[in-house]
Amino acid sequence: MKCALMEGRRQGVVVARDEFRNCNQTPFCNRARSRKPNSCSLIAVDVKISDGDLVAKLIPKNPPQIDHNSTDSSNQENGVEDLVQKPLILRFSAYQDGVLRVKIDEDQTLNPPKKRFEVPSVIESDFLEKKLWLQRYSEEKIDGDSGVSSIVVYLADGYEAILRRDPFEVFVRDKNGGNRVISINSHGLFDFEQLRVKKNEGDNWEENFRSHTDTRPYGPQSISFDVSFYDADFVYGIPEHATSLALKPTRGPGIEFSEPYRLFNLDVFEYLHESPFGLYGSIPFMLAHGKARGTSGFFWLNAAEMQIDVLGDGWDAGESRLSLPSEQKRIDTLWMSEAGIIDAFFFVGPGPKDVVRQYVSVTGMPAMPQHFATAYHQCRWNYRDEEDVYHVDSKFDEYDIPYDVLWLDIEHTDGKKYFTWDRMLFPNPEEMQNKLAGKGRRMVTIVDPHIKRDESYYIHKEASEKGHYVKDATGKDYDGWCWPGSSSYLDMLSPEVREWWAEKFSYKNYVGSTPSLYIWNDMNEPSVFNGPERFIYDVEGKYEDGIGDRNIEYCEFRFPCLFDEMEMVTMPRDALHVGGVEHRELHNSYGYYFHMGTAGGLVKRGEGKDRPFVLSRAFFAGSQRYGAVWTGDNTAEWEQLRVSVPMVLAMGLTGITFSGADIGGFFGNPEPELLVRWYQLGAYYPFFRGHAHHDTKRREPWLFGERNTERMRDAIRIRYMLLPYFYTLFRESNTTGAPVMRPLWMEFPSDEATFNNDEAFMVGNSILVQGVYTEQTKHESVYLPGDQYWYDMRTGAAYKGGVIHKLEVSDDGVPAFQRAGTIIPRKDRYRRSSTQMVNDPYTLVIALNSSQSAEGELYVDDGKSFEFQRGAYIHRRFIFTDGKLTSLNLAPSSNDGRLFSTECVIERIILLGHNARPKSALIEPFKKEAEIEMGPLRVQQSQTTSVLTIRKPNVRISDDWTIQIL
């Protein structure tokens, strides 16, 4: 049956924006947005030092008079009476590297109805050990203080944290100049709804959204406050949204975005670009950057639904009390959450990489991936059977296209029961995996959090018996609908459940798995097809609110395109987790815990010897510790290619450094030109995977004619050529948090022309890539920042920095440039997979700057184990200056070189921008000469430029040596 609606969606004529839950339909957001500046009357009292922290109570300055005999319930609904009786507790903590932590919660000594949820297992234990135990504080009269002095504490060299007592405000300032960096409650928008119990039958705290009722057993419990970033030109971060990298104002005079940026993990079908609606992941971390000061950051550790306004100029219409020097501009934001506590972190920077480093010191360094995972992945929903798998695999060989991983979606299972195989379609899964492994290739299978409610299914039976499922509001196992039909969801908040889950990945339990099989966690927002926020269209294009008794599997197979028309699905907010935690309180972290449990399962499977590879769709702060993330169900449209770049950049800024978008778009059928352009751009994503919906036409790279196959093959080969550089960047990310794929302003923080540019990006500090986002483009304007030259990576041509170049664009690739002053390691021989390239020699590409110097790094380990943590790696720095190339050891002196060794050598050294034409080079300490001549910029390329090349120096990458040009 043909679905007219599906065709309409593909043509972009059906927009379901009205079916998204907006701020007006979200009471806590609506209440917070309605508050006026200066409406907060809290003051800080009883200030003291306790356990190395600054502690104070927050109480109303002028408590409202409560008529306890009144029958008016408005006081109870607004929380006024409870706020008078129960002060809030504020706690300041200072940490090394200029991190301030501010916690505000209810006073536990006053016996609130329950303890508010604090998100566990996100903050790194190493960070907690870096606490600066405060011994004293000083007092200072600050402009605007009402009678009492403000409290000043040391934060870091050059920075102080200030608690203004009356009116209540928290800010960090530059100690030297006195300028502010970040503040909370400068505009008096702070509000904290305290937990309550029903006192009479008239209390009605239920909320309804369409046919679903949220019981809200403890009443409204939302929190909101304003955060200001000073001397900022733009703010960035808070993924996941399909929008520009620089966040647009959502509120104020003439603002186009009338909705806040929403952070609420949802299964969003065919999402819209340029939309502030939340997608699959949520990281409540925002960075601000400006030329005047640099970069700062703010992170709120809170896993409940969050809405964030970026406030445009004039939003307060002069109502704010903020008094600032006229020269210090700011960007104001409003943060609103449904539940939880305030557990906020201020990061002072001052540089972009400093802020990212400070953030990951709190939430964890990104995991070091296995080497194969940084190469190309081939996926489809679904490769039908073993014959299809072998056919696709052989075609990659036939067309000489490298790839490393073949993926299987849900149809490989027995009735969508995870850890099983459809033995009619995949009768010999171990043999299939082993055959691919013989070529150095791996497989990935999907494992989702919904468990089919089938008494014959051992996972369900065991989970049910052990009480491992999330409960509904009545205490019964929650029963929702997903791919298998009736399903229950594992309570991954529980460490016990995560440990139980980890056991399921053993070879004994996951029958048919092998050491070369890895895992994909999809639908882990969690996705629930009959949850509160969803709708389904019928074949006439109308939606039905609810599925009722309809059999989902019947819908899926009888009317597949009908089944695809569902939006924004997840679990009810009043579902219950271990310890009585409501789902509303932890929702955004559910996928994080599932990702954590799965990664732990693969580590346990390998007896702690092998790094896991787990791809997750949902994510939260800290997800970077457990694997890769992708941007979800995008579409085959030029606009979606365009928006993929800021989406991946935003994730990188917030710790998720291993991410990418589905090449070609998950939905729809890309025209060959779009598919080619996507491969050419996607080759530079940190995570590089082609993927497609089962209703799309097959789109493997050899299906679009010889010329297009050649272009896609070349794009994939570029990725394989650059794998040494990418792997080195992943190690940098693993040790500093610096993203692999970076906005231009991260490398050029003073260049204002880069601040709002998200069509181009940096790969590390050495490569700039400009995407091509429109069809039949003949020219592209490319801004190359800085005052040094840039070298075209395809032709070697030099282009001046600091100007916009209008460049002719060919079909052969997207513009990519190597920055002068850098050295990039490559491997120029193309094989079936990255595993088969392990022992191949290296090429160094030296792009000289105006001083005729350059430097770069190379990191190598065994590519799979955790032995690198014991020092089993090679890390070299290459420095070219005064006509001499030197290789230096960057590994610590305690590094045991015997743990990892390699015989790999450097077979070519390319010199770009060299002023002379030397004939030979002297290699020390070996006292041998190498020839210098003109050679190809890229081998195995039909058309290439001749460049100055040192041929066959054959020096080992693990040795100290110098090469002097004669």
| Active site amino acids | 522, 525, 633
Residue 384, CA distances (Å) to 113, 409, 662, 679, 802 in order: 53, 9, 20, 24, 51
**Residue 463 and residue 477 in contact, taking contact as beta carbons nearer than 8 Å:** no
Cα 763 from chain centroid (whole Å): 16
Q: What is the DSSP letter of 110?
A: G
Q: Which residue type sits at 374?
A: T
| Rg of the chain, C-alpha, whole Å | 29
Instruction: Give the three-state DSSP class for 622.
Output: coil
Q: What is the DSSP letter of 22?
A: -
Q: Which residue type sits at 961?
A: W
Both structure tokens of 104: 């505000």
In sign, the C-alpha dihedral spanning 380, 381, 384, 385 is: positive
Q: How many residues does the chain have?
A: 966
In sign, the C-alpha dihedral spanning 412, 415, 419, 424 is: negative
Cis peptide bond upstream of 217, omega within 30: no
**Residue 249 and residue 310 in contact, taking contact as beta carbons nearer than 8 Å:** yes
Q: What is the DSSP letter of 129?
A: T
Cis peptide bond upstream of 167, omega within 30: yes
Closest CA to 355 of 310, 299, 307: 299
Classify each residue of 564-584 as buried b or exposed e, where b means 16 or more C-beta atoms within 10 Å of its C-beta.
bbbbbbbbbbbbbbbeebbbb
CA distance 261 to 245: 13
Beta bridge partners of 307: 262, 336
CA distance 704 to 889: 47
CA distance 184 to 56: 16
Q: What is the 3-state secondary structure (H, E, C) of 794-842?
A: CCCCEECCCEEEEEECCCCCCCEEEECCEEEEECCCCCCCHHHHCCCCE
Classify each residue of 708-725 as buried b or exposed e, where b means 16 or more C-beta atoms within 10 Å of its C-beta.
bbbbbbbbbbbbbbbbbb
Cα 377 from chain centroid (whole Å): 19
Tokens 């299972």: give the residue: 413
How many helices (H) and strands (E) would you count in the chain?
Answer: 19, 52
**Residue 347 and residue 98 in contact, taking contact as beta carbons nearer than 8 Å:** yes
**Residue 394 and residue 832 in contact, taking contact as beta carbons nearer than 8 Å:** no
**Residue 575 and residue 582 in contact, taking contact as beta carbons nearer than 8 Å:** yes
CA distance 952 to 937: 15
Q: What is the DSSP letter of 242?
A: S
Contacts of 246 (CB under 8 A, 6+ apart): 234, 235, 236, 755, 756, 758
**Residue 103 and residue 55 in contact, taking contact as beta carbons nearer than 8 Å:** no
Closest CA to 577 of 706, 472, 498, 678: 472
Both structure tokens of 545: 């609110």
**Residue 769 and residue 814 in contact, taking contact as beta carbons nearer than 8 Å:** yes
